[in-house]
């Protein structure tokens, strides 16, 4: 769909509401730079974390002199260090995402833009990757409110193309990305190769993973009827069907089972799964559902 | 569809086709009627026969089903393409519905294949295969099918004959394996189309080959054909086989041939004349000793057509005649130009009055020259049922159609132009068309060619030289001396003349007798010789009163004759030839006397005028002269003074000279031979029947031409080799055929055979159930595919 016809990814009122949100990671990661969140690493923040015995070479500034006076032993005070957070937004831009009104891709880009904004405002490091059969477009990590334009510019340039290969794309991503952090994967998961292997790559890297499963209304409630030759837009695979009640029912059962299997897979591996349709207003998704799931607060 | 499944599909389709191929060939054979020989072979080798159980048209329609199924299948395959994000879930759904690809393929095609297989099975069932096992006894049945004109009536659709054929086929279908049947078709004649056989295909072919005719109906011949095997007559064989030296008391017993009991199915409307006992006397059953006329025949009458007087819907022309209209002086009547009075009788067989328009077209050489028409008001038919009288006997009350006779008086026409009258009913709106039209050909004057051989004869000349006689005859004269010359011999042998009058002379050898009728005056033809014994002043007595030569002659008692010669059929034979007549019986050289008819006699049985048959010719002998043999100036009789002499000569001209003076109607009924007597000298006739191919007739030894192919009603054109054209017509004109109401019962002699009750014939329900099953399966297939994928 041409960019001129699509609504802007984010509008100012929505941005204003997003400013109050911040990303929440259930895991504490090491950051490269001091950020606005607690780090696993003990450091120089004001928040006390623990004591440990002094060993030779420790910074004398962190000695707890009061304790030395009482116990006559040297202890080093450990503080929680506040760090920045890596936020990886992985947007599926395969051809299958170019369906629905609005298209699933546009919807995914809107969600990605919103989450990126939340991350940028909270001084997190936000990286965006578009993928189809591999990683197709990458935006280097950006930080700070001022980088929002870069993110939006990048997202606007993401066009549908190629067929899905989640496994290859996520394998490349997990090898390439260095820091740990939050990975938000926006896709329709319509990959004939399956999603299990792909997600295992991410799980192995111990990212805090969120899957946002985007489907169009036409996929959830197909309104097809009669003798049809269905052509897959990605690989031009054909399926000859005579669509009728039982087939539609079976399709829906399969879709539900597929979603359930994906959700189950995620649940077992601590991955947060969120299913959405392109008919759910994306602001509500971000402000309500993601908040409920604890991704933002 | 994968390549593999496509291959499977083709293999399966080919297998089904191969399976259906024999059935298709057999179907084709049965449809084209070429299955008889193959059936016989099948029966001999495999005890199996087949025949189509449905009529040809439904069979052909059924054969169109498989292409239709395949067409529908391919139409169904034409799917609308549609792009979807992914076929991932759809395929999964399909796969879930069809466990694997083979099953999926089966799902895709099994129904088609099943339907085709079902069709093949259906096709084989249509062929009505029968296994001919053994059965205990064979029954004989005879199918008598009437194909006369009235069987073309359309009160039952499409016609009575078609109904009769269907019923007959049904009888064949329900006959047992060893039952033997015979097919006889009858109209005015009867023909055995198929003798006794148990080959049903042959019987069916025979029944199917029956075509409607326009002939009248007579059942006697059919009955005698039917009973030939049922009631075999004791022949003289028994006597011949008896040894001459048989010892009394130890005679050889000769068993009479045993008759075969047969069930006769008569499919007719019963519109034939009741068969009288005298006619039935010729049937074998009486001779064999049966009390009833039918003997071993068990007759079942299947009436064709809608019974009841209320369904009789027919108007018909039952008579068409033409008369010369001579209101004034008969002497002024011109033979060539005359006014004609046409009489048409139209009968109404409906139980209510009817109105019809009768048109009469006068055609000359095929062109309409004068039309006439009249609106007819026909009274209703008077009909009453049979009644049982008090004494128990039954009488049939009169059944008379409402009749009207219409007279048309035509203006004067030149009758030499061969007029044809065409009378027809317009808008008759009835069930029987054949009798709605009739034709009449007004024959042109046919002049006789007469050769008079002998010395001058004033009395003969006085008759033949008058104007009226010249219009009827052309006369040539030869002297007695010419009898041995070519002048006579050529004429005699060519058959160029109609009548030769030998006046006081005769050709000596028998071989010089002319190919014509003859009148011998005071002489006799060979092999007789003129008697020498005179009969003085004989008195003429009529011995054959209604002979055509004596027509209109009332008195002969005042005819005086000076002298006649005595003629005796045996004694007057030429002594040289007489031994041939006296040879013993059985001798191939033996001659017999030809039939002699004594027309006039003198007292004591002395023949004075007699007719002798000579092949197809007639020789008339007068045993007395008109003019004295020795003294030519002296007349030998006073007959010339009597009015009876010109009448006699007129009769001679008409009878022996074959004169035709117009208004003599040349018409025959369909199937009757038409006898044409053109003037002597015509050697060849070409006959153009209505809508048919022409026939050429050559003159044979007989003076007339006989045309037997008169099956179609209408006008027949006759082209003669002298360039003239004549016409004759064939008309039904039969009130028996026009009355199309089927009889409730028929009379065979004193027996009455009522219409058979509707027999509870086993209907082939399974066929229709099978058809319903196929239709159901088609519907099911459609519904199934609407609901379930592919």
CATH code for position B404: 2.60.40.10
Reference B562, options B535, B584, B541, B525; nearest CA is B535
B391 and B500 share a domain? no
Return the number of CB contacts < 8 Å for A and B.
Answer: 101
Average pLDDT for B45-50: 76
Average pLDDT for B49-78: 78
Reference B419, options B469, B472, B474, B360; nearest CA is B360
Contact B79 A258 (CB under 8 A): no
Number of Cβ atoms within 10 Å of the Cβ of B772: 10
Number of Cβ atoms within 10 Å of the Cβ of A61: 8
Q: Is the pLDDT of residue B2 over 60?
A: no
What is the per-residue pLDDT for B258? 66
CATH number of the domain that residue A111 is part of: 3.40.50.410
CATH number of the domain that residue B702 is part of: 2.60.40
A40 and A183 share a domain? no
What is the per-residue pLDDT for B210? 93
Tokens 């034709």 identify what position? B439
Q: What is the 3-state secondary structure (H, E, C) of B753-769?
A: EEECCCCCCCCCHHHHH
- What are the structure tokens assigned to A119, written together? 């991350």
- What are the structure tokens assigned to A120, written together? 């940028």
A74 and A155 share a domain? no
Judged by a CB distance cut-off of 8 A, whether residue B406 touches chain A is: no
What's the rounded Cα separation, in Å, for the pair B466 and B461? 8
Q: Is residue B778 part of a domain?
A: no
Q: Is residue B248 part of a domain?
A: no
What is the per-residue pLDDT for B179? 82
Residues in A touching B789 (Cβ below 8 Å): 241-244, 246-247
Average pLDDT over chain B reads 80
What is the per-residue pLDDT for B557? 83
What is the per-residue pLDDT for A215? 92
Task: Choose the closest CB to A245 out of B81, B84, B787.
Answer: B787
Q: Is residue B774 part of a domain?
A: no
Residues in B touching A244 (Cβ below 8 Å): 786-789
Q: Is residue A208 part of a domain?
A: yes
What's the distance, Cα to Cα, between the start and end of chain A in Å?
Answer: 33
- Domain span at residue B160 reads 140-233+257-307+746-758
A96 and A78 share a domain? no
A185 and A196 share a domain? yes
Q: How far is CA B619 from the centre of its chain?
A: 33
Give the chain A residue nearest B86 (alpha carbons). Answer: A232
Q: What is the pLDDT of residues B701-735, one digit of tens each?
A: 666 788 888 888 888 888 888 887 888 888 888 88
Mark which of B380, B411, B445 sits at the end of a domain: B445
What is the per-residue pLDDT for A230? 86
A63 and A186 share a domain? no
Q: What is the pairing mode between strands B606-614 and B617-622?
A: antiparallel
- What are the structure tokens assigned to B437, written together? 């039209």
Taking the CA of residue A93 and the nearest CA in chain B, the distance in Å comes to 12
Q: Is the pLDDT of residue B759 over 50?
A: no
Judged by a CB distance cut-off of 8 A, whether residue A225 touches chain B is: no
B654 and B552 share a domain? yes
- pLDDT band at residue B207 under the 50/70/90 scheme: very high
Q: Is the pLDDT of residue B6 over 50?
A: yes
Q: What is the pLDDT of residues B316-338, one digit of tens each?
A: 998 888 877 766 554 445 656 77
Give the chain B residue nearest A103 (alpha carbons). Answer: B85
B370 and B499 share a domain? no
Judged by a CB distance cut-off of 8 A, whether residue A229 touches chain B is: yes
Reference A93, options A155, A149, A153, A152; nearest CA is A155
What's the rounded Cα separation, in Å, for the pair A244 and B622? 110
What is the per-residue pLDDT for A2? 41
In chain A, residues 19-58 whose CB comes closer than 8 Å to chain B: none
Phi, psi of A36 (to 5 degrees): -105, 20
- pLDDT band at residue B135 under the 50/70/90 scheme: very low
B609 and B640 share a domain? yes
A183 and A284 share a domain? yes
What is the per-residue pLDDT for A90? 92
B327 and B394 share a domain? yes
B483 and B501 share a domain? yes
Q: Is residue B737 part of a domain?
A: no
Q: Is the pLDDT of residue B662 over 50?
A: no
Task: Choose the closest CB to B76 out of A227, A230, A237.
Answer: A227
Q: Is residue A202 part of a domain?
A: yes
Q: Is residue A250 part of a domain?
A: no
Contact A244 B787 (CB under 8 A): yes
With a pLDDT cut of 70, the percent of chain B lying above it is: 80
Reference B470, options B726, B725, B644, B659; nearest CA is B659
Residues in B touching A228 (Cβ below 8 Å): 79-82
> Judging by beta carbons within 10 Å of its beta carbon (0-12, 13-18, 19+), is residue B578 exposed, middle or buried?
middle
Average pLDDT for B516-521: 91
What's the rounded Cα separation, in Å, for the pair B98 and B100? 6
Phi, psi of A76 (to 5 degrees): -100, 130
Task: Choose the closest CB to A99 out of B85, B88, B790.
Answer: B85
B541 and B625 share a domain? yes
Cis peptide before B320 (omega within 30 of 0): no
What is the per-residue pLDDT for A26? 53
User: Which site among B6, B82, B85, B101 would you substitute to test the A interface, given the most A Cβ atoms closer than 10 Å to its Cβ?
Assistant: B85
Judged by a CB distance cut-off of 8 A, whether residue A260 touches chain B is: no
A46's torsion region: left (phi>0), alpha (psi -120 to 50) or beta?
alpha
A197-200, Cβ contacts within 8 angstroms, sequence gap of 24 or more: A197/A167, A198/A166, A198/A167, A198/A169, A198/A170, A198/A171, A199/A166, A199/A170, A199/A265, A199/A266, A199/A269, A199/A271, A200/A269
Judged by a CB distance cut-off of 8 A, whether residue B6 touches chain A is: no
A48 and A150 share a domain? no
Task: Choose the closest CB to A229 out of B82, B86, B785.
Answer: B82
Give the chain B residue nearest A243 (alpha carbons). Answer: B789
Number of Cβ atoms within 10 Å of the Cβ of A23: 23
Judged by a CB distance cut-off of 8 A, whether residue A242 touches chain B is: yes
B275 and B354 share a domain? no
Average pLDDT for A259-282: 90
What is the per-residue pLDDT for B523? 92
Average pLDDT over chain A reads 81
CA-based Rg of chain B, rounded to a whole angstrom? Answer: 38
What is the per-residue pLDDT for B5? 56
Q: How far is CA B33 from the centre of its chain?
A: 26
Stronger pLDDT, A2 or B480, i.e. the higher one: B480
What is the per-residue pLDDT for B88? 80
Q: Is residue B788 part of a domain?
A: no
Q: What is the pairing mode between strands A226-232 and B80-84?
A: parallel
Reference B336, options B69, B661, B589; nearest CA is B661
Q: Is residue A246 part of a domain?
A: no
Side-chain-facing half-sphere of B448: CA atoms under 13 Å: 30
Task: Choose the closest CB to B83 out of A233, A242, A251.
Answer: A233
Side-chain-facing half-sphere of B777: CA atoms under 13 Å: 17
Q: What angle do CA B151, B157, B162 make, to 5 degrees?
A: 50
Q: What is the pLDDT of residues B596-646, one digit of tens each?
A: 889 998 888 889 999 998 877 889 999 999 988 888 788 889 998 888 898
Mark which of B633, B658, B683 sits at the end of a domain: B658
Measuring CA to CA, how many Å separate B644 from each of B333, B537, B610? 21, 19, 17
What's the rounded Cα separation, in Å, for the pair B683 and B700? 9
For B39, the 3-state DSSP assignment is helix
Q: Is residue B567 part of a domain?
A: yes
Q: Is residue B198 part of a domain?
A: yes
Assess contact for B192 and B154: CB atoms under 8 A: no
B440 and B503 share a domain? no
Contact B789 A242 (CB under 8 A): yes
A128 and A214 share a domain? yes
Judged by a CB distance cut-off of 8 A, whether residue A99 touches chain B is: yes
- pLDDT band at residue B218 under the 50/70/90 scheme: confident
Q: How far is CA B622 from the centre of its chain?
A: 41
Taking the CA of residue A202 and the nearest CA in chain B, the distance in Å comes to 24
Q: Is residue A2 part of a domain?
A: no
What is the per-residue pLDDT for B760? 41
What's the rounded Cα separation, in Å, for the pair B531 and B572? 6
B627 and B682 share a domain? no
Helix axes B65-77, B765-787, angle to 10 degrees: 0
Q: Among A247-256, B128-137, B264-273, B365-374, which stretch is predicted with the lowest mean pLDDT?
A: B128-137
What is the per-residue pLDDT for B790? 41
What is the per-residue pLDDT for B451? 92
Taking the CA of residue B71 and the nearest CA in chain A, the distance in Å comes to 16
Q: What is the pairing mode between strands B705-707 and B695-698?
A: unpaired
Q: What is the pLDDT of residues A55-86, one digit of tens each?
A: 888 888 888 889 899 999 898 887 655 556 78
A58 and A184 share a domain? no
Residues in chain A: 297
A215 and A140 share a domain? yes
What is the per-residue pLDDT for B165? 92
- Domain span at residue A45 reads 35-83
What is the per-residue pLDDT for B623? 92
Residues in A touching B91 (Cβ below 8 Å): 237, 239
Eight-class DSSP state of B637: B
What's the rounded Cα separation, in Å, for the pair B308 and B324? 42
- pLDDT band at residue A36 under the 50/70/90 scheme: low
Phi, psi of B57 (to 5 degrees): -65, -50
Q: What is the pLDDT of residues A181-216, one digit of tens each?
A: 888 999 998 888 888 888 888 888 888 888 999 999
- pLDDT band at residue B758 under the 50/70/90 scheme: very low
Give the chain B residue nearest A94 (alpha carbons). Answer: B85
Measuring CA to CA, how many Å separate A105 from each of A185, A279, B7, B122? 12, 13, 42, 58
Q: Is the pLDDT of residue B699 over 70?
A: yes
B358 and B468 share a domain? no
What is the per-residue pLDDT for B756? 65
- What are the structure tokens assigned to B446, written together? 């046919």
Judged by a CB distance cut-off of 8 A, whether residue B91 touches chain A is: yes
Average pLDDT for B748-766: 59
User: Which site among B81, B88, B105, B790 would you substitute to test the A interface, given the most A Cβ atoms closer than 10 Å to its Cβ?
Assistant: B88
What is the per-residue pLDDT for A1? 40
Q: Which residues, at least 6 apart from A50, have a Cβ–Cβ distance to it below 8 Å?
A: A42, A78
Side-chain-facing half-sphere of B696: CA atoms under 13 Å: 5
What's the rounded Cα separation, in Å, for the pair B149 and B314? 13
Give the chain B residue nearest A99 (alpha carbons). Answer: B85
A65 and A195 share a domain? no
Q: Is residue B263 part of a domain?
A: yes
What's the rounded Cα separation, in Å, for the pair B156 and B308? 13
What's the rounded Cα separation, in Å, for the pair A293 and B162? 88
A51 and A191 share a domain? no
Average pLDDT for A169-181: 82
CATH number of the domain that residue B298 is part of: 3.40.50.410
B413 and B541 share a domain? no
What's the rounded Cα separation, in Å, for the pair B662 and B334? 11
Count of domains for chain B: 5
Mark which of B612, B636, B658 sits at the end of a domain: B658
Q: Is the pLDDT of residue A38 over 60?
A: no
Measuring CA to CA, how many Å separate A225 from each of B168, B598, B778? 55, 106, 21
Count of domains for chain A: 2
């Amino acid at each position: 769909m041409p960019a001129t016809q699509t609504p802007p990814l984010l509008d100012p009122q929505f941005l204003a509401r997003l400013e109050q949100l911040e990303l929440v990671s259930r895991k504490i990661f090491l950051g490269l730079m001091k950020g606005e969140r607690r780090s696993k690493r003990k450091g120089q923040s004001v928040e006390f974390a623990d004591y440990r015995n002094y060993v030779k070479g420790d910074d004398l500034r962190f000695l707890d002199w009061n304790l030395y006076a009482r116990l006559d032993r040297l202890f080093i005070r450990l503080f929680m260090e506040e760090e920045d957070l890596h936020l990886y937004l992985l947007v599926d831009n395969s051809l299958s995402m170019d369906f629905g009104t609005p298209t699933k891709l546009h919807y995914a880009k809107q969600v990605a833009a919103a989450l990126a904004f939340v991350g940028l405002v909270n001084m997190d490091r936000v990286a965006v990757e578009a993928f189809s059969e591999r990683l197709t477009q990458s935006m280097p990590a950006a930080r700070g409110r001022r980088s929002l334009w870069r993110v939006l510019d990048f997202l606007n340039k993401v066009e549908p193309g190629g067929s899905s290969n989640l496994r290859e794309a996520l394998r490349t991503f997990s090898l390439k990305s260095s820091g740990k952090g939050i990975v938000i994967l926006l896709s329709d998961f319509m990959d004939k190769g399956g999603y299990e292997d792909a997600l295992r790559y991410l799980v192995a890297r111990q990212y805090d993973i969120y899957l946002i499963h985007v489907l169009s209304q036409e996929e959830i409630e197909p309104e097809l009827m009669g003798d049809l030759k269905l052509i897959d837009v990605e690989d031009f695979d054909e399926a000859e069907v005579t669509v009728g009640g039982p087939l539609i029912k079976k399709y829906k059962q399969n879709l539900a089972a597929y979603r359930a299997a994906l959700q189950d897979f995620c649940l077992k591996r601590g991955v947060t799964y969120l299913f959405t349709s392109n008919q759910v207003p994306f602001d509500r998704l971000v402000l309500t559902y993601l908040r409920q799931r604890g991704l933002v607060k | 569809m994968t390549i593999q499944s496509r291959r499977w599909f083709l293999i399966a389709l080919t297998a089904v086709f191969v399976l259906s191929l024999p059935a298709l060939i057999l179907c084709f054979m049965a449809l084209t009627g070429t299955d008889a020989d193959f059936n016989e072979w099948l029966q001999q080798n495999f005890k199996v026969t087949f025949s189509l159980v449905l009529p040809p048209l439904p069979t052909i329609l059924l054969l169109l089903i498989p292409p239709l199924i395949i067409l529908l299948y391919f139409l169904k395959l034409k799917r609308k393409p549609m792009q979807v994000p992914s076929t991932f879930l759809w395929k999964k759904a399909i796969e879930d519905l069809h466990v694997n690809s083979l099953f999926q393929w089966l799902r895709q095609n099994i129904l088609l294949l099943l339907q085709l297989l079902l069709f093949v099975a259906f096709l084989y069932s249509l062929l009505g295969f029968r296994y001919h096992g053994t059965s205990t006894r064979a029954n004989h049945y005879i199918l008598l099918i009437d194909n006369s004109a009235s069987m073309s009536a359309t009160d039952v659709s499409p016609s009575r004959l078609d109904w009769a054929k269907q019923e007959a086929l049904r009888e064949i279908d329900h006959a047992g394996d060893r039952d033997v049947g015979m097919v006889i078709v009858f109209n005015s004649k009867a023909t055995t189309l198929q003798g006794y056989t148990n080959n049903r295909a042959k019987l069916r072919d025979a029944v199917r080959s029956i075509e409607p005719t326009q002939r009248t109906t007579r059942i006697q011949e059919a009955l005698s054909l039917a009973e030939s095997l049922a009631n075999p007559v004791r022949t003289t064989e028994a006597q011949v086989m008896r040894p001459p030296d048989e010892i009394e008391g130890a005679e050889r017993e000769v068993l009479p041939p045993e008759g075969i009991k047969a069930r006769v199915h008569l499919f007719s409307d019963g519109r034939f004349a009741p068969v009288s006992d005298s006619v039935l006397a010729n049937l074998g059953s009486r001779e064999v000793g049966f009390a009833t006329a039918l003997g071993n025949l068990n007759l079942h009458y299947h009436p064709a057509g809608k019974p009841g007087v209320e369904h009789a819907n027919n108007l018909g022309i039952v008579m068409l005649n033409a008369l010369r209209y001579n209101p004034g002086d008969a002497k002024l009547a011109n033979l060539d130009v005359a006014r004609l009075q046409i009489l048409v009788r139209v009968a109404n067989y409906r139980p209510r009055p009817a109105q019809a328009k009768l048109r009469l077209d006068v055609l000359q050489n095929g062109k309409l020259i004068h039309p006439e028409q009249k609106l007819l008001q026909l009274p209703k038919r008077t009909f009453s049922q049979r009644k049982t009288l008090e004494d128990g006997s039954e009488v049939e009350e009169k059944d008379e159609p409402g009749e009207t006779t219409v007279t048309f008086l035509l203006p004067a026409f030149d009758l030499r132009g061969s007029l044809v009258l065409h009378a027809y009913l317009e808008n008759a709106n009835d069930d029987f068309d054949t009798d709605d039209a009739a034709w009449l050909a007004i024959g042109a004057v046919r002049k006789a060619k007469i050769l008079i051989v002998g010395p001058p004869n004033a009395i003969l000349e006085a008759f033949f030289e008058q104007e009226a006689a010249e219009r009827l005859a052309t006369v040539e004269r030869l002297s007695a001396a010419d009898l041995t010359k070519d002048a006579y011999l050529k004429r005699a042998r060519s058959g160029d003349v109609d009548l030769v009058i030998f006046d006081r002379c005769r050709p000596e050898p028998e071989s010089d007798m002319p190919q014509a009728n003859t009148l011998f005056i005071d002489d006799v033809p060979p092999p007789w010789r003129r008697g020498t014994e005179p009969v003085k002043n004989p008195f003429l007595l009529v011995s054959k009163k209604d002979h055509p030569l004596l027509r209109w002659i009332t008195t002969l008692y005042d005819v005086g004759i000076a002298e006649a010669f005595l003629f005796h059929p045996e004694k007057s034979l030429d002594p040289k030839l007489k031994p041939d007549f006296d040879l013993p019986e059985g001798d191939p050289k033996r001659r017999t006397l030809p039939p002699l008819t004594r027309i006039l006699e003198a007292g004591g049985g002395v023949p004075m005028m007699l007719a002798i048959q000579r092949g197809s010719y007639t020789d008339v002998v007068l045993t007395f002269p008109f003019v004295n043999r020795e003294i030519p100036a002296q007349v030998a009789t006073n007959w010339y003074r009597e009015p009876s002499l010109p009448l006699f000569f007129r009769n001679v001209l008409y009878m022996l000279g074959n004169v035709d003076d117009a208004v003599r109607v040349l018409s025959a009924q369909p199937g009757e031979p038409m006898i044409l007597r053109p003037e002597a000298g015509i050697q060849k006739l070409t006959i153009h029947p209505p809508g048919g191919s022409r026939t050429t007739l050559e003159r044979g030894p007989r003076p007339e031409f006989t045309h037997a192919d008169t099956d179609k009603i209408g006008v027949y054109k006759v082209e003669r080799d002298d360039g003239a054209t004549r016409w004759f017509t064939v008309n039904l004109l039969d009130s028996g055929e026009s009355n199309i109401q089927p009889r409730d019962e028929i009379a065979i002699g004193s027996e009455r055979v009522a219409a058979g009750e509707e027999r509870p014939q086993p209907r082939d329900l399974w066929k229709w159930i099978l058809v319903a099953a196929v239709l159901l399966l088609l519907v099911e297939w459609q519904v199934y595919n609407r609901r379930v994928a592919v």
